[in-house]
Amino acid sequence: MAKIMKRKNKLNKASLSVIVIVWIVVQASVCGLTCAADYAIGADLSFLKQAEKRGVVFKDNGQGKPGLQIFKEHGYNWIRLRLFHTPTRLPNNLEYTITLAQEAKKLGFRFLLNYHYSD
């Protein structure tokens, strides 16, 4: 009788272990689909339009694409944009920043706007 009880306890422990492992895997899968949006993954991309205007071509696997698109395709969901008051020689004026912000919003980015009085 003791042998049967021992075997039953081992079976119960093994069953419980399998249930816990399956539950963890299911939770991880569900969270992988829904929890990724909870994290802010981003970069300061204030320079992108200036670089592209100067002829820089950003590539992903050898294929030229707009910089914003590459970042979006690689899981970035936030960008930082800098708006400069001074120095005025930098391209990060209001017009430049609004244009870049509009392009980012079209791709689904959220953005942080940093206003710089000087650099």
My answer on whether 62 and 102 are in the same domain is yes
Burial-class residue 92 by CB neighbours within 10 Å (0-12, 13-18, 19+).
Answer: buried
Over residues 1-11, the pLDDT tens digits come to 666 666 666 65
pTM of the model: 0.65
My answer on whether 47 and 98 are in the same domain is yes
Cis peptide before 66 (omega within 30 of 0): no
Over residues 52-96, the pLDDT tens digits come to 999 999 999 999 999 999 999 999 999 999 998 877 777 888 899
Tokens 């980012």 map to which residue?
A: 104
My answer on whether 44 and 77 are in the same domain is yes
* DSSP bridge pairs for 60: 63
- Domain of residue 60 covers 40-116
My answer on whether 16 and 65 are in the same domain is no
- Token pair in block for residue 41: 């993954």
What is the number of domains present in the chain? 2
